[in-house]
Amino acid sequence: MSCKTGNSYITKKGDTLSSIAQQQLHSSDRWHEILKPDGTPFREEDAHNLQVGQEICIPHSGNRNTGGSTGDGFANIVSHQAYKTMFPNHNDFYTYESLITAVKKYPHFCNEGSLQQRKREAAAFLANISHETGGLHYIQEQNPQSHYCDATNTTYPCVAGKSYHGRGPIQLSWNYNYGACGKAIGKDLLNHPELVSTNNVISFTTALWFWMTPQPPKASCHKAISTSGFGMTINIINGGIECGKGPQTPQAEHRIQLYKHFTEVLNVTPGDNLSC
């Protein structure tokens, strides 16, 4: 084993840096603390592109670089009252308390950069999940047209009788996303996808997993909101349908209007590059 620092780990089939970080470091957004044997960091585009049998180096227990993150950033930005203002008719399933519990699993969420950047990230996340769920009203996709099973994906094969239609705040869809997310958060969502629509903490956790995890070849929404603007978060979430169609699509425009409203509630300017 050749790690200059940390504990050696040999990657297995299905491993990603995010899933390994969740298993070994208890937070998938700590993947950037994992190093190559020569001590150099991985690039963001490497996060989902590991080779089976590759050696990587996990930080020693307690050797954590949190940058001052405690997981309280979001709660300090979005109060319970602000949440009720943003989602006056939210489904009882989507409680503020369950969101705050889920956020604690991702301590870098709304906890990096300036206060302005942190507020924009909170507004961007909430605007996108509001659009996906009709103001946090719908728990799962209405009248899904299929079971969203990609039979060609052998890493996370579909389970007979299970449907991987959109569920939760980000409308998690497809067997490969349920599998990857479940592995990262420590829940068997491939065999039990219904957990996303029956357990509100798990439900919010899936949305945060998607937000914080790079979506190769695209960055994570967490990174995009601070480096590229709100428009890139739309592109990452649903760019194939809502972006690059010439005039602004109605769906993208709705997300933008929600974002502008939520930035007003949080007393921050929306910044540049709102369109995708």
Q: Catalytic residues, which ones? A: 132
Cα 211 from Cα 130, distance rounded (Å): 14
Say which residue the tokens 């020569």 belong to: 38
Are 167 and 140 a contacting pair, CB within 8 Å?
yes
Cα 168 from Cα 206, distance rounded (Å): 7
Are 120 and 271 a contacting pair, CB within 8 Å?
yes
Sign of CA dihedral 223, 226, 232, 234: positive
CA distances from 244 to 160, 214, 240, 275 (A): 36, 21, 8, 10
Strand partners, 218: 215
**Per the structure block, which two tokens stand in for 4?**
């200059």
Hey, how many other C-beta atoms are within 10 angstroms of the C-beta on 134?
12
**Spatial CB neighbours of 264, under 8 Å, sequence gap ≥ 6:** none
**Per the structure block, which two tokens stand in for 142?**
């209405």
CA-nearest of 202, 200, 222, 208 to 96 is 200
